Structure formats: C-alpha cells, structure tokens
Amino acid sequence: MNFKERLQRATERGRQIRAAQLNEEAAKALSEEECRRLHSQYRLAHSDHIEKCLSDLADNFPGFRLETIVDEDGWGAAVSRDDLGLAAGRRNTFFSRMRIVVSPYSQYHVLDIAAKGTVRNKEVLSRNHYQRLADVDLQTFRELIESWALDYAELYSAAV
C-alpha cells in the first residue's frame, strides 16, 4: 500500500470520527431535553404530594397555615404558625415552620428534594435526598416526603 492510499484511508477515518461526534452531540442534546421533561414530570407529581401531606399536617395541628412555594429554591409547600408565650411578665413569640421543596432542574441531571423544619424558633429537622433522573424511584421519594412530614409532626407534638 502506497502513501496516497494510506492518506485516503486516514482521511476517511477522520470523516467517520467527525460524523460519529456530530451524531453523539445530537443524541446528547436530545437526552438533555429528555432530562428536562423527566424533571418537570417528577416535580409536578412530587409537588402535589408535598402539598397534600403538609395540608394534612396543617389540618392536624390547628393554627398552621399552608402556603404553596414556587420560587428560585424550587417548588413545594410549607406550613407555618406563630405562637405567643407569656413568662415572668414577658411576651415571647415562637415561630414554627415545615417546608419541603423540589429543587429546580440543574446541569447535574438529578431530582433533589429538601426539607427543613423549625419548632418554636429552633431548627429541628433538615433533610435532603436526591437521585439521578435516569434512576428515580417515585415511590421512594413519596415515602420520604411522608416520613419527613411525620417526623416533623412528632417533633412538634413533643415540643408543645
């Protein structure tokens, strides 16, 4: 095989490599859209479940107000209440809040849910769970959301 034939083969291999790279980039762009779609689908399902769980929590403890959360931190819900206490002639205010949100879509392709709970001005609960979008188990997230709401209810009941 002479130099010209080897040059032509090398050129053809280079063209094939470039075509493969273009195909891979096109597939990656499609998978990025698919990831965004999956995140949106999971976010909607979990946001509704969060709102339902926290609504039930608010119904169980009179005085809690439910609010829907849609901001740069994510989508979800929170329940909160303010209490007034009198001790030794002094007035004290106590703040209690439980918040669960699904974080916005990120470049890391994960579904992330975070919870924070405060009882009488003290943070008593801080939880976070995430999974890659390709590996998300919806039932696991649903159970965690319910578990976190129940944990908060127990902590709140013990404190008041």
The encoded tokens of residue 93 equal 């205010």
Taking CA atoms, 137 is separated from 16, 18, 78, 128, in Å, by: 39, 37, 24, 15
Distance CA 21, CA 13 (A): 12
Mean pLDDT in residue range 33-39: 88
What does pLDDT average to over the chain? 88
The pLDDT value recorded for residue 28 is 59
Distance CA 37, CA 134 (A): 12
Please tell me which residue, 113 or 85, carries the higher pLDDT value: 113
The encoded tokens of residue 128 equal 């976070």
> Does the pLDDT value for residue 29 go beyond 60?
no
The pLDDT value recorded for residue 30 is 47
Segment 113-146, tens digit of pLDDT: 999 999 999 999 999 999 988 888 899 999 999 9
> Does the pLDDT value for residue 26 go beyond 70?
no
Distance CA 125, CA 119 (A): 9
pTM: 0.77
